[in-house]
Structure 1
Amino acid sequence: MLVEEIMNPDVITLTPDATIAEALTVLHENRIRHIPIVDDQLHVIGIVSDRDVRDASPSILQKDSAEKVLQNELKSIMSHPVVTVHPLDFVEEVASIFYDEEFACVPVVRDYKLVGMVTEKDMLYTLIHLTGTNVQSSHIEVKVPHKPGILPEVASVFGKRKTNITSVLVYPFKNDPNYKILVFRIQTMNPMPVINDLRECGYELMWPNNMTGPKS
């Protein structure tokens, strides 16, 4: 999946000479947490978060200086330089940026111009869809040897039952490089026949690990 498939192309921006007061209004009225700061060519030159604005805003005990502080320009508080991504970057690569850098959002840039924004919420929404948890389904985890061809081998068990697989994930088995876990989500009202088939084929189920049922 590509960034352009999940990004929000309708991004609200401000210029570096906009004021903190303007940023407060934009954040409040649009219920957003970040504002990219751009120049007249839509080049991203900074970013301002609701926390930046809150930290820069005067205390209610400083009424005399409040108006003056709120008229400070955003270039005085914006973060820069800004890490950006491209619309054709893969979502999983962007997810690693969110994790490594502890970002809450990243601007999306094509030809040096802002074309969208990806937020933590966008990433979580995408994860929900990639894992298939957005549709009613049954969850099955199978421990398998880490060897070529094992995924289609296990998937053929579902195929014999004409069971629709809505998602497949692969992740390591603890710290043992000789095994991995295949996580299937399947659309069926009764997963027990498939579960029994997997056990009869000699596969070890991590989930469900204590269910048996009648064959059909």
Structure 2
Amino acid sequence: MLVKEIMKRKVIALQKDNSIADAITLLKQHHIRHIPIINESSHVIGIVSDRDVRDASPSVLDKRVDQSLLNQSIGSIMTSPVITTHPHEYFEDIAPIFYENEIACIPVVYNMKLVGIVTEKDMLHTFIQLTGTHSPSTQIEIKVPDRVGVLSEVSSYFSKRKIKIVSVYTYPSPGNEEWKVLVFRIQTMNPLAILQDFEQTEYEIMYPIREEDDEFM
């Protein structure tokens, strides 16, 4: 899935000479948490978060503070330079950027101009869509040998039962590099028959867990 498929195209932006008061108004009016700062050519030169604005704003409880601080330029508190991405980048490639840099949004730039924005909420929504958790389904996790063709082998069991696979992804088996875990979401509310099929194989069902096997019982 490409960034252009998940980004918001209508971006609320400001220029660095706009005031902190302007940012407060836009954040409240549009219920957003970040505002990219652009120049006259729509190039991204900074970004401001609701936290930046809150930290720079005078307390309403302290009458001694000069409220004219809100008239300061947004450029004085913006973060620069800014991490950006391209609309043709893959969703999977920008996910580590969010994690490693501990950021909550990434402006999207095409031909050096701001064309969109991706937030952590957009990323979470996309993950939900990709994993199929938004639709009625059942999750099964199966520990399998990490070898060529194993996904096809396991998938054939669902085909024999005429069970539709909604989504599938994989993660390494903890503590064992020779195995991995396949996570299937399947379109059935009663997985007992397919679970019994796998019990007769070399594969190990990791989830659903039988109550007597649950280490927290």
Same fold (TM over 0.5): yes
**SS of corresponding position for 1:174:** coil
Q: Which moved more, 1:145-154 or 1:194-203?
A: 194-203
Partner of 2:123: 123
Partner of 1:28: 28
Where does structure 1 lack aligned partners over 5 or more consecutive residues?
212-216
Does the 8 Å contact 2:41/2:113 carry over to 1? yes
The 2-side partners of 1:175 and 1:202 are apart by 18
Deviation at 1:64, TM superposition (A): 5.5
Q: Which amino acid is 1:78 matched to?
A: M
The 1-side partners of 2:154 and 2:130 are apart by 20
| Residue 65 of structure 1 pairs with residue 66 of structure 2 | yes
Cα RMSD of the aligned pairs, angstroms, is 1.2
1:67-86 per-residue CA deviation (whole Å, 9 max, x = no partner) reads: x2111111111000000011
Percent identity over the alignment? 53
The 2-side partners of 1:32 and 1:207 are apart by 38
Where does structure 2 lack aligned partners over 5 or more consecutive residues?
212-217
Partner of 1:43: 43
The 1-side partners of 2:33 and 2:100 are apart by 20
Deviation at 1:169, TM superposition (A): 1.1
Per the normalisation by structure 2, the TM-score is 0.93
The 2-side partners of 1:183 and 1:175 are apart by 18
| Residue 18 of structure 1 pairs with residue 18 of structure 2 | yes
The 2-side partners of 1:69 and 1:209 are apart by 58
Q: Please list, as runs of the form range in 1=range in 2, the aligned pairs for 1:67-216 lying within 5 A after superposition.
A: 68-210=68-210
CA 1:64–1:181 in structure 2 vs 1: closer, same or farther (change >3 Å)? closer
Q: Which amino acid is 2:66 matched to?
A: S
CA 1:64–1:177 in structure 2 vs 1: closer, same or farther (change >3 Å)? closer
The 2-side partners of 1:57 and 1:64 are apart by 10
Deviation at 1:154, TM superposition (A): 0.4
Per the normalisation by structure 1, the TM-score is 0.94
